[in-house]
Amino acid sequence: MPSAWSWRRDGGLLALVIVVTFAGFANSLRNGFVYDDVLMIAQNPRLANPWDLRRFFGTSYWDEPTNTLRLYRPLTVWSFAIDRAIFGSGPFGVHLMNVLANAAVAGLVYALIRRLLHHRLLALLTALLFGIHPVHTEVVANGSGRAELYASLAVFTAMHLHLTWVRRFLTRQQEKAAGKKGRSANPTGLRHLVLAVILFMAALFFKESAVVVPALLLIADWLLASQGRLRALSPRIPGYLLYLIPLAVYAGFRISVVGTRPPAPQEVMLGISTAQRLMHGSETMLRYLGQLVFPYHLCAEYSDYANPVRPRIADPPVLASLFVWAATAALSIILLRRRQHLILFGILWFFIALLPVSHLIVPIGTIRADRLLFFPSLGFVLILAHLLEELEQRQRIAAAVVGVAIVCFYGWRTYTRNFDWYSNDTLWEVTLRQNPGSAVGWLAWGHGRQLAGEYEQAAKAYQRAWELRDRLGFFYLDAHLSHADMLKQLKDDHGAEEQYRLVLKHEPRNRAALMNLGELLFRDPARRPEAMEFLKRAIEEDPTDFRGYANMAQACKLTGDYPTALRYIDDAIRLAPEEAGLWRIKADILHRAGRSAEALEARQRAEELERRR
């Protein structure tokens, strides 16, 4: 803590920051599992046992067999398992921990700025603006935004420890310069540096974008602790080499699990040149800056299949971004010469923190996302808070009006945006209004309409999803399958058959298409031999799935081949003996075969299983 820290005043302001930040996101506590939460949290089998650490450290973030996303965040996944162990499998515990973590991060920001710059008002404004900024809703209100939150907790705590080491290092230097001999009353602070290094490693295991932390610590040391004097900084450079150790450890774990290749870019970026990727990165960073200034338009999915990423140097957004960055570079040189280190620190924080996810180094798995602004936004809000503080010294009333207006706007926008993340239906309805070219959005919205029994609307949504993606040359298998299922529900057998056959053309071994097409064709007695072949192929693709055997049993029952039907239904029951529906199918087959006593036993077994449930 800074020497001027007062628990009476600073403790009260710190409590204010935490309470306001918590209140800003409190309405997200009622949110359900939305978007990535469904697969990452609600349906993730790895979360059943929080003590099976191999399931977390030995698998990729999504545990996908192809490793196309190539993300490795074991501590984030482990935190979800701990939530489940404490709070149960519902969404409340996850959201509660997110809201608490965000409030804690805001509190750490207050203490960090207070420590670095010794200004209470600046620390208060920075922490409040950071804590309730609307771009953070995707991180806090969405359960799977956890990676940013916990990584930031580790990073900001590490920064406090690192600055303790810096302060004690400077004190020892001053004692030596004054000619003091003997044992110093101030220890070297080496243990604080070691703890900071350990927390940096934890941050990496929460999210890989923490890789920039040593650079951020260096500029904080250079511009704020050393007042821009490189000579004063140079004796501490060896201490920064310790941060190479967690980088090597994390890299070793990551490479062993997901390999060395970067994540695959989103499809709307495939095929672009390196120059186009850099132009896209430049334009996107300008859009990010615009969102920080005026965070009204926030979207869960920016990938637009109606407008693939193909930037040109003559495009106005690209030209505008290049001009802004050139002007920013010139301004940074002026600020350095004039020793305006605080604003320069904010600029460098924004750019360095955003660099790994900007597409300027390597393409990443998303073209743009609000969640990526969580950590970089500190640089922006610090500059904004500084400008408000400067205005307060000249025009106190005007500064109060502007400051209150900004905080109220941010708080209102955060409050309203939290409602968008209430459910998949609310999120995707808003997203599709903002980005009607989102193929993912149409697929997700179609699933919502299907669950609501609105099959006609679901069919239109699925068709729109595959039309958007297919037109770019990417066959959208999930959308075609779902569209076929809805057409079957709507009694459009011809359209459903066409979709199932299209899926099998692209993926001949797709079990769902084989099974559903077999069921569909079996309705026509003349096509039953072909239907039986599809059903047999479905069983061959996955002999452990009881549904394939049950479908074959039903098919054989309709043809009057009761012995074969019984053989198939017995195979299904062997795989899933607790499925009451299978016993009812067996009872029906036995009844048709004239074996009434056995049929009664099977029916009683089905009723017993239903009572247990």
In order of start, what are the domains of the chain with their CATH numbers? 423-508 (1.25.40.10), 540-613 (1.25.40.10)
Tokens of 65: 């067999």
Q: Phi and psi of 298, rounded to 5°?
A: -125, 135
Q: For residue range 65-122, what is the model confidence (pLDDT) as tens digits?
A: 655 668 899 999 999 999 999 999 999 999 999 999 999 999 999 999 998 888 889 9
Residue 187 CA to residue 274 CA, distance in Å, equals 50
Secondary structure percentages of the chain, helix, strand, coil, to 5: 75, 0, 25
Question: Which parts of the chain sit beneath pLDDT 70?
Answer: 1-7, 65-69, 177-188
Cβ atoms 146, 94 nearer than 8 A: yes
Quick check: pTM over 0.85?
A: yes
In whole angstroms, give the CA distance from residue 109 to residue 160. Answer: 10
What's the sign of the alpha-carbon dihedral 134, 135, 136, 139?
Answer: positive
Using CA atoms, how far apart are residues 137 and 604, in angstroms rounded to an integer?
A: 52
Q: What is the dihedral of CA 140, 417, 208, 81, to 10 degrees?
A: 40
Q: What is the pLDDT of residue 435?
A: 95
Q: State residue 317's pLDDT score.
A: 93
Residue with tokens 């945006």: 417
Give the Cα-Cα-Cα angle 203, 110, 26 (nearest 5 degrees). Answer: 80
Q: Which of 288, 323, 292, 312 is nearest to 302 (CA)?
A: 288
Determine the Cα–Cα distance for residues 398 and 405; give it in Å rounded to an integer. Answer: 11
Which residue in 185, 188, 99 sits closest to 143, CA to CA? 99
DSSP, residue by residue, 246-294:
HHHHHHHHHHHHH-SSPPPPPGGGTT--HHHHHHHHHHHHHHHHHHHHS
CA 268 to chain centre: 19
| pLDDT at position 419 | 95
Q: At what angle do helices 190-206 and 74-87 cross, to 10 degrees?
A: 80
In this predicted structure, what is the pLDDT of residue 172? 76
Do 70 and 255 form a contact (C-beta atoms < 8 A)? Answer: no
For residue 382, give the H/E element and its range: helix 377-394
DSSP-based three-state secondary structure for 342: helix
Let me know: does 75 contact 206? Beta carbons within 8 Å: yes
- Cβ atoms of 577 and 602 within 8 Å: the answer is no
**CA separation for the pair 235, 269 (Å, rounded):** 45
Q: Reduced to 3 states, what is the DSSP secondary structure of residue 3?
A: coil
Residue 197: partners with Cβ closer than 8 Å, 6 or more residues away? 158, 242, 243, 245, 246
Residue 1 is predicted with a pLDDT of 44
